[in-house]
Structure 1
Amino acid sequence: MSLRSCPSSLLLPRLRPSSLAVLAFTVFASPFLLLPRRSAVNPPPPPPPPSPSMAARSFVLWLHGLGDSGPANEPIRTFFTFPEFNLTKWAFPSAPHAPVSCNYGAIMPSWFDIHEIPVAAVSPKDEKGVLKAVENVHAMIDREVAAGINPENIFVCGFSQGGALTLASVLLYPKTLGGGAVFSGWVPFNSSIIERISPEARKTPILWSHGMADRTVLFEAGQAGPPFLQQAGISCEFKAYPDLGHSITPEELRSLESWIKSRLKSSS
């Protein structure tokens, strides 16, 4: 079966120009497997990383959506212009290639398996695959903690499948992190996981943003997040965006910038 004949849609944002030449991250949804689309827009170069003589004070880890790649999401850095981010280290890892059930076993970058599209609140969950992916995310976080970054200055963020992995990674990390930001994601495991969440992890705040017109990860899947987190005793700020589909907008990224800035600790 060729890629063109494979049903379903990938869960990834794309950079494209609007009629006002405003940069926006968006996804093109279709009943068929989507191949990555590149924009003709050349975003401004990202700010330089901290020099060797200036140790990073904070760390932002961004997890992409199904079928995407880490490097394709690096322009997100350009939205973070406050001086507080001058000493921020960024990481945009790429998911391993694996067969994905919702795309008839087609092999593509995927953090864990997805059984159906659209993703609903009651969709089947690949908990085993999620927990394996969480181990890899925790290893990345542990490296930064070992390098001297305060765990409360570490933020995990992700879109769609990456948002679901963000939630799982933050909730199952044994220490309090600066925060987890979920964009168009869902709860990727059942409520039985709550007993595994440590008292320290319950102090990590969650920012959840979801488009009300999302037909790839349904809004109901996003709405299921706050009650789940409330049951676990975790603070969640939920933002609903009317008329927004399966996309990331500059407004969401500016909100994320302010949200992280307000939570950065003054020292490591």
Structure 2
Amino acid sequence: MSLLRSFIFFVRPFVLLAFTLTLASLFAFFFSSSSPRSSPPLPMAARSFVLWLHGLGDSGPANEPIRTFFSSPEFKNTRWSFPSAPHNRVSCNYGAVMPSWFDIYEIPVSTESPKNEKDVLKAVEGVHAMIDKEVAAGINLENIFVCGFSQGGALTLASVLLYPKALGGGAVFSGWVPFNSSIIEQISPEAKKTPILWSHGMADQTVLFGAGQAGPPFLEQAGMTCEFKAYPNLGHSITPEELHSLESFIKKHLKSSS
């Protein structure tokens, strides 16, 4: 291996981490001129709930400006949650400690990448606890939406499929299927009713487009529906166009208040 190739092999994981953190900074800059993040207090009983799961090395607060895209009247009584992943060692970054929902063995993620189902299932328990908390507070399950980018997208998929009841919907952005097809046996008939929106950039070099494309066939095998959107020339990022599609997706599946 040449000196140049050795250098590239050594720095690539840290460049990927820097890219993820830079993406969060760009979010803050891009949305700085948008409407203020502060808003009037929500009613005691929110009509709907949107949970957003960030990508590797990112944080929940850095993604909060996403909510500024959802200005339609249907979102006046929506409660948003942007949790941060715990700090864990990440194998693809030589064991560096960073915010991570579960361990990732290699980057770029492809359809052949090894799965870490044990870690994923542990992270799913945490997401289910967040959902159950909202249900206990009186929110209709059919008005609960779980969304996520990259690693958060993979966790979104796992959490929605393994929740025992149908939710309003799940939205995966630049994510992948984080487990083998044997998991299909654990998906309940009710969970199969949850609609899925899947968006992926065709120029993604971190989670390869092929890994995203594998999502719809997997869901079809499980007996589920999936709305898949491919974005030419888009790398490992999320765009306003994708968020507007998410807004339409949520509005389409919201249930009227009882």
Q: Same fold (TM over 0.5)?
A: yes
Q: How does 1:96-115 map to 2 (within 5 A)?
A: 96-115=86-105
Aligned pair partner of 1:240 in 218, 230, 233: 230
Deviates further, 31-40 or 128-137: 31-40
Q: Which residue of 2 is the match for residue 36 of structure 1? A: 21
Q: 1:243 to 1:172 in 2, by over 3 A?
A: same
Partner of 1:15: none
Higher helix share: 2
Question: Are 2:13 and 1:48 equivalent residues in the alignment?
Answer: no
Match of 2:220 in 1: 230
Gaps of at least 5 residues in structure 1 are: 10-29
Q: CA deviation at 1:246?
A: 0.5
After superposition, give the CA deviation of every residue in 1:13-65 in whole Å (9 maximum; x if it has no partner).
xxxxxxxxxxxxxxxxx46754723244524323626434x520000000000
Once the two structures are superposed, the pairs formed by residues 149-188 of structure 1 within 5 Å of their partners are 149-188=139-178
Q: Is 1:78 the counterpart of 2:68 in the alignment?
A: yes
CA distance in 2: counterparts of 1:118 and 1:91, whole angstroms: 28
Aligned counterparts of 1:33 and 1:173: Cα–Cα separation in 2: 33
Structure with more relative contact order (C-alpha pairs < 8 Å, separation 6 or more): 1
TM-score normalised according to structure 2 size: 0.90
Is 1:202 aligned with 2:192?
Answer: yes
Report the equivalent of 1:125.
Answer: 115
1:83 and 1:51 mapped to 2: Cα distance? 13
Paired residue for 1:17?
none
Question: Which amino acid counterpart does residue 192 of structure 1 have in structure 2?
Answer: S
Report whether the alignment pairs 1:141 with 2:131.
Answer: yes
Q: Is the 8 A contact 2:61 2:82 kept in 1?
A: yes
- Partner of 1:22 in structure 2? none
Q: How many residues align?
A: 243
The question of whether the paired residues in 2 share the 8 Å contact of 1:151 and 1:176 is answered with yes
Amino acid in structure 2 at the alignment position of 1:225:
G
Aligned twin of 1:21: none
Cα offsets for 1:195-219 (capped at 9, x unmatched): 0000000000000000000000000
SS at match of 2:21: coil
TM-score by length of 1: 0.87
Q: Which of residues 179, 185, 192 in structure 2 aligns to 1:189?
A: 179
CA contact (8 A) 2:110 2:207 kept: yes
Q: How much does 1:8 deviate?
A: 1.8
For 1:88 and 1:227, locate their aligned partners in 2 and report how far apart those are by CA, in whole Å. 32
Is this contact kept in 2: 1:50–1:89, CA < 8 A?
no
Instruction: Map 1:253-264 onto structure 2 (within 5 A).
Output: 253-264=243-254
Provide the C-alpha distance between the structure 2 equivalents of 1:229 and 1:207, rounded to a whole number of angstroms. 11
**Alpha-carbon distance in 2 for matches of 1:239, 1:58:** 24
- Looking at structure 2, the residues matched to 134 and 179 of structure 1 have their Cα atoms a distance apart, in angstroms, of 16
Q: 1:50 touches 1:86 (CA, 8 Å); kept in 2?
A: no
2:13 match: 8
Whether the aligned pair in 2 keeps the contact of 1:63 and 1:157 (CA below 8 Å) is yes
Specify the SS of the correspondent of 1:8: helix
Q: Which amino acid aligns with 2:92?
A: C
Change (3 A) 1:136 1:239: same
In 2, the alpha carbon distance for the partners of 1:166 and 1:31 equals 21
Amino acid at match of 1:8: P
Query: Offset of 1:180 from its aligned partner?
Result: 0.3
Task: Work out whether residues 20 and 56 of structure 2, in 8 Å CA contact, stay in contact via their aligned partners in 1.
Answer: no
**Does the residue aligned with 1:69 lie in a helix, a strand or coil?**
coil
Give unpaired runs (5+ residues) of structure 2: 1-9
Name the aligned partner's letter for residue 148 of structure 2.
G
Which one of 22, 47, 63 corresponds to residue 57 of structure 1? 47
CA distance in 1: counterparts of 2:189 and 2:38, whole angstroms: 36
